[in-house]
Amino acid sequence: MIKLAIVSPCYNEEAVLESSARRLDTLMARLVAEGKITEDSFVLFVNDGSRDSTWNIISALHRANPRFKGLDLARNVGHQNAIMAGMMTAKEISDAVITIDADIQDDLEAIPRMIDAYAEGYDVVYGVKVQRQADPLLKRLSAQAFYRLQKKMGVNAIYNHADFRFLSRRVLDQLALYRERNLYLRGIIPSIGFPSTSVDDVIAPREAGESKYSLGKMLGLALDGITSFSVKPLYAILLLGIIFLLISVGIGIYVIYSLFVHTAVHGWASLMLSIWMVGGFVLIAVGGVGLYVGKIYSEVKDRPLYHIKDFLD
Ligand code: UDP
Ligand code: MG
């Protein structure tokens, strides 16, 4: 039997929080009755700097039922860092952690299967979306295109797995050693290398409230997912540079040719063209390098990922 912690990040989740808490409580009571988890297993809600009444709801849940614990972060630090804060807090007082989004779109029935997999000797169990009809079409398509791009870039991540996963304490202790700021858990965890497997996860629609993943947040995560694990974009810039060089050689030949046949004045077009081309290329290259420099900048500062304001244990 394990002492299980379910960690759930919440950002402005007042609309779904109570209903999600009820569902988790029912599940945990069942797992206790089945002898899969201990009586003192718990749910840890991480309040990621919500501006609505999320923290009040978490506090009330905690007062009413000791199974609910709460962690209040001092400000909004984003999904990945909020999960990290929850996991690092929970690992000190549990044997294993399952992370699940507060709107519980994931399949709760995958949780007992994750625990069974742990009993069979797996330290990491990924919830893999086998069916995501409930996700909006655009989100589904863009996510799948992203998973493919990631693979091309050599990032070692699990296809169609987000952050619904089981981690044993052993893995969490290793995860704690990762000091990076641009946290992309889906890339880090496979690279730790403990025995892992996956269980099926069927995504349901969000019960209430809107997606808390704004386009900006999603793009930021996608960018981290590639630039934190792969330098291939840098090489792509190099390749682009070579192609542009070849093109400009062609343009050079054309310019000399038009000089000889006295149509040089027409060369204005090709000149303008190459100025723009080279200028564009330089900008792309500088921007690409800048991405990495920016990351180095934030890594060397080595700032804390989050600040805990309150812990309801
Ligand atoms: N979330 C968070 N901090 C943020 C944004 C989101 O902790 O800055 C949480 C949110 O409360 C939810 C999870 O991340 O538990 C996933 O967000 P959401 O369900 O809105 O994303 P979607 O399902 O649309 O991808
Ligand atoms: Mg969701």
Dihedral of the alpha carbons of 6, 302, 155, 118, in degrees to the nearest 10: -30
Whether residue 146 is predicted with pLDDT greater than 80 in this model: the reply is yes
Task: State whether the beta carbon of 13 lies less than 6 angstroms from ligand 1.
Answer: yes
Task: State whether the beta carbon of 82 lies less than 6 angstroms from ligand 1.
Answer: yes
What pLDDT is recorded for position 264?
63
Task: State whether the beta carbon of 9 lies less than 6 angstroms from ligand 1.
Answer: yes
Centre of ligand 2 to C-alpha 207, Å, is: 9
Residue pair 277/229 in contact (Cβ under 8 Å)? The answer is no
Closest Cα to atom 22 of ligand 1: 211
Task: State whether the beta carbon of 76 lies less than 6 angstroms from ligand 1.
Answer: yes
pLDDT band at 240 (very low <50, low <70, confident <90, very high): confident
DSSP state of 206: P
Task: State whether the beta carbon of 107 lies less than 6 angstroms from ligand 1.
Answer: no
User: For 66-118, what is each residue's pLDDT tens digit?
Assistant: 999 999 999 999 999 999 999 999 999 999 999 999 999 999 999 999 999 99
What pLDDT is recorded for position 87?
98
Nearest CA to 24 out of 129, 111, 113 is that of: 111
Whether residue 138 is predicted with pLDDT greater than 90 in this model: the reply is no
The two beta strands, 161-168 and 124-131, are antiparallel
Residue pair 121/195 in contact (Cβ under 8 Å)? The answer is yes
pLDDT band at 9 (very low <50, low <70, confident <90, very high): very high
Centre of ligand 2 to C-alpha 188, Å, is: 22
**What strands, in cross-sheet order, belong to the sheet with 124-131?**
196-202, 124-131, 161-168, 96-99, 4-10, 42-47, 68-73, 308-312
Whether residue 159 is predicted with pLDDT greater than 70 in this model: the reply is yes
In this structure, what token pair is assigned to residue 91?
């690992």
